[in-house]
A and B are shown apart, each in its own frame.
Chain A
Amino acid sequence: MLDTAAQIARFRGLLATLTARELKARYRGSALGFLWSLINPLLLLAVYSAVFGWILQPVRGGGVEPYALFLVSGLFPWIWFSSSLLEGSASLVTHAGLIRKALFPAELLPTVAVAANLVHFLLALPVALAALAIGRALGYPVAGWGTLALPAVVLVQLPLAAGLALGLAALTAHFKDMRDILANLLTLLFFATPILYPIEAVPVAWMRALVRANPLTPYTLAYQDVLFRGTLPEASLWLQMAAVSLVGWAAGAWFFGRLKETVVEAV
Chain B
Amino acid sequence: MHADWDVRSVADRVRRGEITAESVTSASLARIAEVDPGIHAFLHVAADALDQARAVDQKRARGEPLGPLAGVPVAIKDALVTRGVPTTAGSKMLSCYVPPYDATVVARLRSADAVLIGKTNMDEFAMGSSTENSAFGPTKNPHDLSRTPGGSSGGSAAAVAGAMAPCSIGSDTGGSIRQPASFTGTVGLKPTYGRVSRYGLIAFASSLDQVGPFATDVAGAARVLSVIAGHDPRDSTSLDVPVGDYERACGKSVGGVRVGVPNEYFAEGLDPEVEQSVRAALSALTGAGCIVRPVSLPHTRFAVGTYYVLATAEASSNLARFDGVRYGLRSLGASGKRDLRAMYGATRDAGFGAEVKRRILLGTFVLSSGYYDAYYLKAQKARTLIRRDFESAFRDVDVICSPASPTPAFRLGEKHDDPLAMYLNDIYTLPASLAGLPAMSVPCSATASGLPVGLQIMARPLEETTMLAVASAWEALAPGARVSPVP
Please indicate whether A and B come from the same complex rather than being unrelated chains. no
Q: Which residues of A contact B (CB under 8 A)?
A: none
